[in-house]
Structure 1
Amino acid sequence: MKTEFYTLGTFEFPADAVVIKGKLEAEGIPVFLRDEATINSDPLISAALGGVKLQVYSSDRERAKEIFDDIRSYATDRLGNPVVCPNCKAAKSEIYYTRSNVFYKLFPFFEPRKYQCMQCNFITRPAR
């Protein structure tokens, strides 16, 4: 039987993922942290690997997403204010990388920062 996983979120630092993992496991949801050991051994390659991926079984997706949405923090601008979606005005955005070409796949830290609204999935670039 093939088991499918759903990536609930990605984190630059393993410690951030471990906090969410603890909450989900306390609620009875098994959690897997992909690339955690690699990034713990060399934190400088986190951006190149796409961070630590917090994964749950696909069958637990909806329940895990509800719990995660209740406790997670969303993207903020340089002043600490929540990034507001220009499309739906929700303050629930996360950093989004397209890694659309080979250069950005090899050097993801050069890609311009974008945000994806978690409510309407609109992708935007911050004002400079």
Structure 2
Amino acid sequence: MKKFRTVAIFTYPAEAQVMKGKLESEGISVFLRNEYTIAAEPFASNAMGGIKMDVYLEDFIKANAIVEQSDPDFTQTMTVSIKCPNCGKRSVREQHDVNSAKGVVETLRAALYSIIPFIDHKNYKCMNCTTEFDLNE
């Protein structure tokens, strides 16, 4: 069973649809919660906590980067963003994501981690201070 993570929360359905289109054009599956209820009753948005944009856990970092890149001011409304536990920066990448790997060494390492998942390794790496960590630490 795949897990989801909320990337962003929107007040209006139109905002959510624009970002959904942007993410889907990058190959990321997006699921909007509360969209239809809030579209039918806009005043319910605050009471319901807004329209929640969820993506699969493995797409979270890529989706987070796209949202930040498209509108840096929007990051204030992000519900979850991964920060490095060492330096506090948000320049974190998933270690076994072949698509975001830079260079031959990172690509081979990402492929190895995805092929042999039982190798003991950390899932995330800070590109600022090179700290490797897991989210549950």
Normalised by the length of structure 1, the TM-score is: 0.58
Structure with a larger share of its residues in helix: 2
Residues 46-68 of structure 1: CA distance to partner in whole angstroms, max 9, x if unpaired? 00000000110001111111111
User: Which structure has the larger Rg over C-alpha atoms?
Assistant: 2
What percentage of aligned pairs have identical amino acids? Answer: 39
What residue is the counterpart of 1:107 in the other structure? none
What residue is the counterpart of 1:53 in the other structure? 52
- Is 1:93 matched with 2:93? no
Report runs of 4+ in structure 1 exceeding 6 Å deviation.
none
| Cα shift at 1:118 | 8.9
Unaligned regions of 5+ residues in structure 2, if any? 90-137
What residue is the counterpart of 2:69 in the other structure? 70
Contact 1:94 1:118 in 2 (8 A): no
How many residues align? The count is 84
SS of the residue corresponding to residue 9 of structure 1 reads: strand
Partner Cα distance (2:71, 2:82) in 1: 12
Unaligned regions of 5+ residues in structure 1, if any? 76-91, 97-116, 122-128
| Cα shift at 1:3 | 1.9
Partner Cα distance (1:94, 1:55) in 2: 14
Letter in 2 for 1:23: K
Normalised by the length of structure 2, the TM-score is: 0.54
What residue is the counterpart of 1:44 in the other structure? 43
Partner Cα distance (1:95, 1:31) in 2: 15
Structure 1 residues 1-128: aligned runs within 5 Å: 2-74=1-73, 93-94=76-77
Partner Cα distance (1:9, 1:68) in 2: 8
What residue is the counterpart of 2:124 in the other structure? none
Q: 1:49 to 1:62 in 2, by over 3 A?
A: same
Partner Cα distance (1:95, 1:28) in 2: 20
SS of the residue corresponding to residue 93 of structure 1 reads: helix
